Amino acid sequence: MSSGESELARLEEVPEDPSCAQAVSTALAVRAALDADFHTGLQRWHEQAKLVCADSSEGPDRKKRAAFRTVQANSARIVDEWLPVKDWSTDAVKEWHTYAPVPYCWTYDSAPGASDWTGTSRCSCSLCVFASRHDVLLSIGRRPRLADLYAEVEQVGGDSFRIDWRITDLIRHPAACGAPDPGVVCPDDGPEFTALEEQVRAALEEKPRKKPDLARRTRRSPCDGYAAPP
């Protein structure tokens, strides 16, 4: 099992290489699955990272949340929450990055280094159930091996990625509806991804913890035309 340190060092050397970023992500995911303490620490870091980048456009709950608030106060400690960019507009964030000392994540662009902001509309999990269809289709093109693994889970478990979309159908969607060019394709050919595949397939052999209700409730056509976001 990789600690993720070597992958992180490589990413620091070549920050514009998406395969290096994905190698870090996969290594951390595998380590978290096997190390409970590391999983707890990674979850805590993830929650803190979400607070730093949260803005009002991410959903009604975030919009109602105060930019600064005290979330815990007792005799032992006081915990404050500060969301520094909560009320920034998307245009303001883009303008700030024009002069920022650090680059923004490449996934926002059509390809690494393009600086055109025509990639994904948000930076989240590669295949996120909260993402727009444009972003999911783009991610399927960028990480086809991961998309195939999601489709395998759907086919074996009988469930659906979302109530209105199945990854199995969306994999066929680009050819039918002219989905966005991925710009870059991550091979996912390292030992960490192979380990992830083995873990997923082992889990599929176990008795499911709940019935696949999502697949049974959906009525929506998986392919009803596609238009890029404005």
Three-state DSSP class for residue 41: helix
Confidence band (pLDDT; 50, 70, 90) for 136? very high
Structural domain boundaries, residue 145: 5-53+105-217
Confidence of residue 120 (pLDDT cuts 50, 70, 90): very high
Chain mean pLDDT for the chain: 79
31 within domain boundaries: yes
Q: Which pLDDT belongs to residue 68?
A: 79
Cα of first residue to Cα of last residue in the chain, in angstroms, is 43
80, part of any domain: no
Of residues 1, 6, 19, the one with CA closest to residue 187: 19
In a domain, 95, yes or no: no
Percentage of the chain surpassing pLDDT 70? 81
Predicted confidence band of residue 56 (pLDDT cuts 50, 70, 90): low
Q: What is the mean pLDDT of residues 185-195?
A: 91
Q: What is the mean pLDDT of residues 85-100?
A: 83
User: Is the pLDDT assigned to residue 44 strictly greater than 80?
Assistant: no
Which amino acid is located at 169 in the chain?
A: D
State how far the alpha carbon of 114 is from the alpha carbons of 22, 150, 209, in Å: 19, 29, 44
**What is the structure's pLDDT at 230?**
41
Burial class (CB in 10 A: 0-12, 13-18, 19+), 42: middle
**Residue 86: is its pLDDT beyond 70?**
yes
DSSP secondary structure letters along the chain: ---SHHHHHHHHH-TT-HHHHHHHHHHHHHHHHH-HHHHHHHHHHHHHHHHHH--GGG-HHHHHS-SEEEEEESSS-EEEEE-TTTT--HHHHHHHHHH-SSPPPGGGSSSTT-----S-SS---SS-TTS-HHHHHHHHHH-HHHHHHHHHHHHHH---SSSS--HHHHHHHHHHHTPPP-S------SHHHHHHHHHHHHHHTSPPSS--HHHHH--S-S-S------
- Residue 46 confidence class, pLDDT cut points 50, 70, 90: low
Residue 194 confidence (pLDDT): 93
User: Number of folded domains in the chain?
Assistant: 1
Question: Is 10 a member of any domain?
Answer: yes
| pTM: predicted TM-score of the whole model, two decimal places | 0.65
Structure tokens, 87: 């009320």
Instruction: Report the distance separating Cα 165 and Cα 2, nearest Å.
Output: 34
